[in-house]
Amino acid sequence: MNRAKINRLKDKAFKYFGIFASVIGIVILAIFIGFVIYMGIQRLSWDFMVELPSRFAENSGIYTAWMGTVWIMVFTTLISFPLGVGAGIYLEEYGKKNRWSSFLEINISNLASVPSIIYGLLGLGVFVRMMQMGNSILAGALTLSLLILPIIIVSTREAIKAVPSSIRDASNALGASKWQTIWHQVLPASFGGILTGVILALSRAIGETAPLIVVGALVYVPFAPQSPLDEFTVLPVQIYNWVSRPQEEFVINAAAAIIVLLGITFIMNGIAVYFRNKWQNKMQW
């Protein structure tokens, strides 16, 4: 064999290796998910959704867990959405290109790669202890809000950046003030992109476990929370709780709860992708 042939052979071999590498991760994940469904589907029933947690695996349900998740997500959305979008608007529309804004930018991308458990320690130190909120929904939601703020800010900025400056110029030329231009032109035009980013950030928050364990969500909660100052647990923490027990029945419960959690996560991501496509098709400037 001459060199050219060997080179062509290598080329071919790498092509097949590339296809293999591209699908291997997805195939493994599919097998994992198949296994979890096979294991957990037997426990999945209406009773499982509305039952309180119990010492007996067969009687345990995820009612308090998903109620906690709903409470946490509502408050996380209420807190992080305005703050993140506001910061994004400021950086994109008001921020001047100086040292201060580049410092803000570096800081935000740094925050985006701080491990989530560090946010848990921040929440424990500031919200749980210093502000004395205890292991409450409010403390958990504030912690998660800080965690996803960088994601919302970055996607808001990208969505706003995609709005062509001709629209701003036209609005300014008609005598609109800066805020009127933003509120009536820029935000409606970029809303699809902003919404996509927010949903993706929230779907990240819904699966977060470590920071909530650190702020104290791994307590036994016999009832669904009634107010934002109540103690809480959430789906992923309940899953962790069940996985770490030795009895087989609890592991089956964990598998069933995982099916629910994965379902919610995939649906949220599906919605986000749908919005993104719709928005991208509409906004052909």
Partner 1 sequence: MNIKEKIIEKVLAFCALLTILTTVGIIAVLLFEAIGFFREVSIVDFLTGTEWTPLFADKNYGILPLVSGTLLTTFIAIAVALPVGLTIAIYLNEYAPKRFRKVLKPLLEVLAVVPTVVYGFFALMIVTPFLKVFIPDLAGFNALSPGIVMGIMIIPFVSSLSEDALAAVPDSLRKASYGMGSTRFQTAFRVMVPAASSGIMVSIILALSRAIGETMIVAIAAGQTPVFTFDPTVPIETITAYIVKVSSGDVPQGTIAYKTIFAAGITLFVVTFILNNISFWIKNRYQEKYE
Q: For residues 42-81, which are near partner 1 according to CB under 8 A?
A: none
Where in 156-175 is the site for partner 1 (CB under 8 A)? none
Amino acid (one-letter) located at 189: A
With respect to partner 1, which residue has the nearer C-beta, 34 or 226? 34
Place of tokens 């509409």: 282
With respect to partner 1, which residue has the nearer C-beta, 183 or 226? 183
- H and E: helices and strands count for the chain: 12, 0
Rounded distance between C-alpha atoms, residue 283 and residue 89, angstroms: 19
Rounded distance between C-alpha atoms, residue 211 and residue 125, angstroms: 12
With respect to partner 1, which residue has the nearer C-beta, 14 or 226? 14
- Taking CB under 8 A as the criterion, the residue among 17, 56, 220, 223 binding partner 1 is 17
Rounded distance between C-alpha atoms, residue 278 and residue 252, angstroms: 39
Cβ-based neighbours of 128, under 8 Å, separated by 6 or more: 134, 135, 139, 215, 216
Amino acid (one-letter) located at 265: T
Q: Does 214 bind partner 1 (CB under 8 A)?
A: yes
Count of residues interacting with partner 1 (CB under 8 A): 85
Nearest-5° Cα angle at 239, 236 to 242: 155
Q: Does 111 bind partner 1 (CB under 8 A)?
A: yes
Q: Which stretch binds partner 1 (CB under 8 A): 22-30, 63-71, 189-197, 221-229?
A: 22-30
Least Å distance, CB 230 to partner 1, is 18
With respect to partner 1, which residue has the nearer C-beta, 23 or 226? 23
Contact status, residue 185 vs residue 88, Cβ threshold 8 Å = no
Q: Which stretch binds partner 1 (CB under 8 A): 70-78, 145-153, 168-176, 220-228?
A: 145-153
Residue 273 — left, alpha, or beta (φ > 0 → left; ψ -120 to 50 → alpha)?
alpha
With respect to partner 1, which residue has the nearer C-beta, 100 or 226? 100
Per-residue mark of binding to partner 1, 172-191 (x: CB under 8 A): -----xxx------------
Q: Which stretch binds partner 1 (CB under 8 A): 6-14, 41-49, 57-65, 70-78?
A: 6-14
With respect to partner 1, which residue has the nearer C-beta, 23 or 229? 23
Q: Does 239 bind partner 1 (CB under 8 A)?
A: yes
Least Å distance, CB 155 to partner 1, is 14
Q: Which stretch binds partner 1 (CB under 8 A): 66-74, 105-113, 164-172, 187-195?
A: 105-113
With respect to partner 1, which residue has the nearer C-beta, 87 or 139? 87
Rounded distance between C-alpha atoms, residue 158 and residue 162, angstroms: 6
CB atoms within 10 A of CB 172: 15
Q: Does 199 bind partner 1 (CB under 8 A)?
A: no
Least Å distance, CB 138 to partner 1, is 16
Rounded distance between C-alpha atoms, residue 165 and residue 168, angstroms: 5
Cβ-based neighbours of 140, under 8 Å, separated by 6 or more: 72, 123, 212, 215, 217, 232, 234
Per-position b or e across 221-240, b if 16+ CB within 10 A of its CB: beebbeebebbbbbbbbbbb
- Taking CB under 8 A as the criterion, the residue among 24, 50, 74, 174 binding partner 1 is 24
